[in-house]
């Protein structure tokens, strides 16, 4: 039986042969054509030289040597062609071996991915996912619309509606067998560049398969980055199921995790001083990488896209941080495209309810094949395609934020006071029907209570508030203006306050309480000026 190194060398040769085959055939034609041209030229040159010189022997000898050299090159090309043909035959054989290794082959045909569930039912736990064109072995047909399958080290159930089988699957598989890196260890870092010092852009789990783009010294390039060659094996194979990301996976995003130990928000400052400029806020139980410790009680921390300083008294570290993270980590849908359509039902034929913005994180309410139901606000959800989101456990992280400074203009000063007052209540609870800024408020109760402090009376209903004040265009928003969002039926059901720098503060849901979001985390339907300037 061949050893692993021989097998790896064979696979590499097979892959390189596939890439170079057309180029080599072209070279062979060039060599043979060049030989013929050179032969004619040599004969002509020899004839001319013979008519001019008595001793034509050296020219004739040179032509013979050139002809012999070209003939040898053509022979070498023939031999190389034979080797290529042999490798092509071996490649075809390897492809057939892969396909035949499945006792009852199934190929998934979906856009995005198909959920692998613990039991045959849409309410059963999701334990993995099969991307489009992935392969599985069908172990059992339940005859009730579900297959029990084995794929990528996972055994579970998938809906049979999206799986092709039999000869159709084998025919489809011919184009799906490719050189892949199969992960041999758990939590293998995917790096941005082929270096252990390069940024980690993701993690790969045992048995996951990634198509090989290229190979460099000690590294394998895949579509999303680089894997260390020490922890993968290269085989011609098809893609298979991937395990559902576990809560513990959140630790792979933090080398030295710290968790904010506050009830509302922790200020992140530009310098390690209480007089340092506030550049961001870390929500309660937010995570970050601790980069360094100062001698006077500050941590330099990186959280999300923010790097700054926080008081070490309010940061959990070590095992305490890990224990807290495991309690807080939530399954989130992270948007990875600009302005993603959120629909009323899990179908591209369904009405587009609103649009949500890139890099926003939304709690996952339900996973449906090809779709995820996400929470927008309290009692408000939408469906987004799995093509444009990453579903993984995640922790809260810092939000870029700078307090408004007092303005000389009276109206601007009033707006600043309204916003800064509202921000005192970040992290406080959401309570449906509530109007208390400390004990709990809903979205309209929050804005009503804030404006009430400054003598502006608003009703306790977002739809009614949307009829007050005067209309404002999004490009003309000022801090203190109210933004209104609608339900899938077009009825206004949520209100938030603009605080400047493209951000809003709002009482969002029971999960998140009073929080900061980007103003277009979904598309507002109205913007109103309540200040009267």
Residue 406: DSSP 8-state: P
Percent helix, strand and coil across the chain, each to the nearest 5: 30, 35, 35
User: Residue 264 in contact with residue 428, Cβ under 8 Å?
Assistant: yes
Go through the chain and tell me how many residues it has.
533
Q: Which of 397, 394, 413 is nearest to 405 (CA)?
A: 413
Q: How far apart are CA 480 and CA 416, in angstroms?
A: 8
User: Residue 285 in contact with residue 295, Cβ under 8 Å?
Assistant: no
Strands 306-311 and 298-303: antiparallel
Q: Which of 89, 172, 396 is nearest to 266 (CA)?
A: 396
User: Residue 284 in contact with residue 245, Cβ under 8 Å?
Assistant: no
Q: How far apart are CA 92 and CA 380, in angstroms?
A: 53
Here the tokens at position 106 are 């199934």
User: Residue 203 in contact with residue 190, Cβ under 8 Å?
Assistant: yes
Q: How far apart are CA 533 and CA 418, in angstroms?
A: 14
- Residues with active-site annotation: 443, 494, 506
């Amino acid at each position: 039986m061949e050893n692993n190194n021989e097998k790896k060398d064979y696979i590499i040769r097979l892959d390189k042969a596939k890439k170079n085959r057309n180029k080599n055939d072209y070279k062979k034609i060039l060599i043979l054509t060049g030989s013929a041209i050179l032969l004619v030229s040599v004969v002509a040159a020899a004839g001319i030289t013979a008519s001019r010189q008595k001793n034509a022997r050296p020219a004739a000898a040179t032509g013979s040597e050139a002809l012999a050299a070209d003939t040898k090159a053509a022979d070498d090309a023939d031999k190389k062609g034979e080797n290529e043909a042999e490798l092509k035959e071996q490649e075809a054989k390897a492809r057939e071996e892969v396909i035949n290794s499945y006792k009852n082959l199934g190929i998934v045909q979906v856009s995005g991915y198909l959920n692998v569930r613990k039991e045959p039912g849409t309410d059963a736990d999701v334990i993995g996912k099969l991307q489009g064109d992935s392969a599985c072995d069908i172990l059992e047909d339940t005859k009730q619309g579900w297959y029990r399958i084995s794929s990528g080290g996972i055994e579970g159930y998938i809906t049979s509606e999206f799986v092709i089988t039999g000869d159709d699957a084998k025919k489809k598989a011919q184009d799906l067998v490719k050189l892949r890196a199969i992960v041999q260890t758990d939590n293998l870092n995917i790096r941005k560049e082929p270096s252990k010092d390069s940024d980690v852009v993701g993690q790969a789990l045992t048995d996951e398969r990634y198509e090989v783009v290229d190979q460099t010294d000690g590294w394998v390039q895949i579509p999303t980055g680089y894997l260390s060659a020490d922890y993968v094996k290269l085989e011609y194979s098809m893609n298979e199921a991937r395990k559902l990301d576990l809560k513990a996976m959140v630790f792979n995003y933090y080398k030295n995790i710290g968790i904010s130990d506050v009830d509302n928000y922790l200020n992140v400052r530009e310098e390690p001083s209480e007089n340092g400029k506030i550049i961001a806020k870390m929500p309660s139980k937010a995570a970050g990488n601790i980069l360094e410790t100062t001698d006077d009680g500050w941590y330099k921390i990186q959280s999300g896209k923010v790097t700054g300083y926080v008081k070490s008294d309010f940061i959990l570290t070590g095992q305490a941080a890990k224990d807290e993270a495991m309690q807080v980590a939530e399954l989130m849908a992270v948007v990875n495209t600009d302005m993603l359509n959120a629909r009323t039902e899990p179908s591209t034929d369904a009405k587009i309810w609103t649009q949500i913005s890139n890099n926003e994180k939304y709690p996952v309410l339900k996973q449906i094949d090809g779709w995820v139901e996400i929470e927008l606000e309290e009692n408000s959800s939408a469906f987004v395609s799995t093509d444009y989101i990453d579903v993984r456990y995640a922790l809260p992280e810092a939000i870029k934020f700078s307090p408004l400074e007092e303005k000389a203009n009276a109206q601007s000063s009033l707006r600043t006071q309204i916003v800064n007052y509202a921000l005192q209540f970040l992290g406080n609870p959401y309570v449906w029907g509530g109007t208390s800024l400390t004990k709990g408020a809903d979205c309209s109760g929050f804005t009503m209570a804030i404006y009430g402090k400054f003598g502006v009376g608003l009703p306790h209903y977002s739809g009614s508030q949307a009829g007050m004040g005067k209309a404002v265009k999004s490009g003309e928003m000022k801090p203190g203006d109210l933004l209104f969002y609608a339900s899938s039926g077009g009825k206004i059901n949520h209100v938030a306050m603009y605080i400047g720098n493209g951000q809003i503060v709002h009482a969002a849901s029971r999960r998140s309480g009073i929080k900061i979001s980007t103003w277009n985390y979904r598309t507002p339907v109205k913007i109103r000026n309540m200040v009267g300037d």
